[in-house]
Amino acid sequence: MTTVHEPTPVRADLSVWPASAADSPDTGLAVGGVPLAEVADRFGTPVYVLDEAEVRDRCRTYRAAFPDTEILYAAKAFLCRAMIHWVDEEGLGLDVCSAGELEFAVTAGFPPDRIVLHGNAKSPQDLATALRLGVGRVVIDSPSEIARLAAAVGPDGHQKVMVRVVPGVSAGGHDKIRTGTDDQKFGLSIADGYAAHAIARILDQPQLELTGLHCHLGSQITSVKPYLVAVRRLVGLMSRLHEQHGLVLPELDLGGGHGIAYRPGEPALDLTALAGRVRAELATACAAADLPVPRLLIEPGRAIAGPAGVALYRVLSVKRTGDHVFVAVDGGMSDNPRPALYGVRYAPRLIGRPGGAAPAPVTVVGRHCEAGDVLAADVPLPADVHPGDLIALPVAGAYHLSMASGYNLVGRPPVVAVHDGTARLLVRRESLADVRNRDVGL
């Protein structure tokens, strides 16, 4: 009698999923103790799922790696009232880029003195809101902003400021997200003297208190080296400022841009190595310049929110065209423009049922009227994928909802938090009624 052995199932690589992700033959893939198929059935698709424990754990990881550092969560990555409360409860500050982000945070209860306002072109409303709410620091990004802010503060007012400088360091995962060089719109160059000139002008404004220098090299940086080069150049500028003005700056903000893995096997920035080597480099450079070591600030966004999120989609059609198989889903570039903008690659997965066939290469596309509406090109999915199936995209917590658009009036997806086996709605789905209510003309 011949014994037939069932093939051993291949365990899925969950390395880029939230730590709580678990696969079960009975419930399928779950995050935060909640089966993802249940989330899709209850809240509809597309839907963003956010693991609260993963967000909190990542905040705590930063605090452990950078114990003497002011850590500011970059709100542009993803913001909602629940996220504001989580970040506050975990002891982080906030980095915002507009009056909208700032007022949203403050009205949700976040302390304004723990908020830093950025922006290469702050509007009068941005500055007025910052002063009205008592923002902790304003990061000056251009010479014209100095006089504008000083006038808004008034002769009897006071506002802490930093200056965003460009250290001439090229780093980041794509040309469009590299911001540490002189050929882009942010900051004031160290090399051509504009940064030093702007600082001299700030020192002539007694109502503006310059607390430190700020730089942001870019996004998706996976190497420590660019940060070390930036530290040396920033301390060099601090040394020249001390020689010229007797100025000793108490703060140094190295921005964020900490890279994460979007697919298994991709590199991510080692936070422990970053913290140790940056502290050592800063101490060495300051000792050589005979300066006290400033307090360090960092601004992670993607590295906190990104891996905590999952996007769920329903398959609408499967089309074979020549050598290509296109799997079209009910979302796309309106809820995730990053593949079209930066060529980002994801690792989608079939959920809700076991795959009945061997994997085959497919391209997951969106529903929008653009040839570039591609969510994941040439990725393996079971060859029997069909309409009605569910597909999950991990690492979807950052720059998805925050960059979502109203293209084709499909409505932005909801956000659902999962934690300890419970799912709850954080942000409701945008409806056609929402769109109609904004349109007041005829």
Alpha-carbon span 97 to 399, nearest angstrom: 14
Tell me the C-alpha to C-alpha distance, in Å, between residue 25 and each of 168, 352, 386: 52, 10, 20
- State pTM to two decimals: 0.93
Strands 208-214 and 251-253: parallel
Identify any residues that bridge with 10 across adjacent strands, giving them in sequence order. Answer: none
* 442 found inside a domain: no
Q: How confident is the model at residue 182 (pLDDT cuts 50, 70, 90)?
A: low
Type of residue at 317 = S
Average pLDDT value for residue range 409-432: 97
Q: Which residues are catalytic?
A: 369
User: What are the start-end ranges of the E strands in 205-257?
Assistant: 208-214, 251-253
* 11 found inside a domain: no
- 198's tokens: 């702007």
Question: Phi and psi dihedrals of 101, rounded to 5?
Answer: -60, -40
Average pLDDT value for residue range 382-390: 96
Give Dmax (Cα) for the chain: 96
Length of the chain: 442
346, 229: one domain: no
- Among the candidates 304, 338, 361, a domain finishes at 304
138, 258: one domain: yes
Question: Phi and psi dihedrals of 404, rounded to 5?
Answer: -65, 150
How is the beta sheet containing 28-31 ordered, strand by strand? 22-24, 28-31, 34-35
Residue 8, classified by CB atoms within 10 Å of its CB into exposed (0-12), middle (13-18) or buried (19+), is: exposed
* 254 found inside a domain: yes
- Among the candidates 278, 304, 330, a domain finishes at 304
Question: For residue 2, what pLDDT is reported?
Answer: 44
Q: Is-contact 271 304, C-beta < 8 A?
A: no
Question: For residue 89, what pLDDT is reported?
Answer: 98
191, 260: one domain: yes
- 243's tokens: 């020689």
Which residues contact residue 173 at a Cβ distance below 8 angstroms, ignoring those fewer than 6 apart?
A: 218, 219, 220, 221, 222, 259, 342
pLDDT at 140 over 50: yes
Alpha-carbon span 359 to 347, nearest angstrom: 13
pLDDT at 184 over 80: no
Low-confidence winner among 40-54, 185-199, 293-307, 415-429 (lowest mean pLDDT): 185-199
Tell me the C-alpha to C-alpha distance, in Å, between residue 350 and each of 251, 290, 381: 47, 58, 7
74, 198: one domain: yes
Question: For residue 167, what pLDDT is reported?
Answer: 86
* 364 found inside a domain: yes
Q: How confident is the model at residue 183 (pLDDT cuts 50, 70, 90)?
A: low
User: Where residue 104 sits, what CATH number does that domain have?
Assistant: 3.20.20.10
Token pair 């950052």 is at which residue? 398
SS3 305: helix
62, 102: one domain: yes
Which residues contact residue 371 at a Cβ distance below 8 angstroms, ignoring those fewer than 6 apart?
A: none
* 298 found inside a domain: yes
Q: What is the pLDDT of the chain when averaged over all its residues?
A: 92
Residue 221, classified by CB atoms within 10 Å of its CB into exposed (0-12), middle (13-18) or buried (19+), is: buried
Alpha-carbon span 369 to 169, nearest angstrom: 38
Name the percent of the chain lying above pLDDT 70. 93
- 14's tokens: 């969950």
- Among the candidates 281, 304, 327, a domain finishes at 304
User: Where residue 339 sits, what CATH number does that domain have?
Assistant: 2.40.37.10
Question: For residue 195, what pLDDT is reported?
Answer: 87
Question: For residue 263, what pLDDT is reported?
Answer: 95
Rounded to 10°, the helix 124-133/143-153 angle is: 50
263, 287: one domain: yes
* Terminal C-alpha separation, the chain: 80
SS3 268: coil
Question: For residue 309, what pLDDT is reported?
Answer: 98
Average pLDDT value for residue range 199-205: 94
279, 330: one domain: no
Determine how many CB atoms are found less than 10 A away from the CB of residue 189: 15
* 382 found inside a domain: yes
Question: For residue 168, what pLDDT is reported?
Answer: 77
Average pLDDT value for residue range 42-49: 98
pLDDT at 10 over 70: no
28, 56: one domain: no
Q: Which of 325, 416, 322 is nearest to 364 (CA)?
A: 325
Token pair 């989609």 is at which residue? 313
pLDDT at 267 over 90: yes
| H or E element in which residue 34 lies | strand 34-35
Instruction: Please write the tens of the pLDDT for every residue from 307-335.
Output: 999 999 999 999 998 889 999 999 999 99
* 203 found inside a domain: yes
Alpha-carbon span 136 to 212, nearest angstrom: 13
149, 295: one domain: yes
60, 188: one domain: yes
Structural domain count of the chain: 2
pLDDT at 377 over 70: yes
Q: Is-contact 264 346, C-beta < 8 A?
A: no
Alpha-carbon span 80 to 105, nearest angstrom: 8
Type of residue at 251 = E
- Show the domain range for 222: 52-304
Q: Is-contact 139 214, C-beta < 8 A?
A: yes
Determine how many CB atoms are found less than 10 A away from the CB of residue 310: 28
42, 58: one domain: no
Instruction: Please write the tens of the pLDDT for every residue from 270-283.
Output: 999 999 999 999 99
Alpha-carbon span 418 to 139, nearest angstrom: 35
187, 287: one domain: yes
Q: Which of 206, 129, 193, 194 is nearest to 161 (CA)?
A: 206
Identify the residue with better confidence: 218 or 58. 58
* 280 found inside a domain: yes
Identify the residue with better confidence: 147 or 354. 147
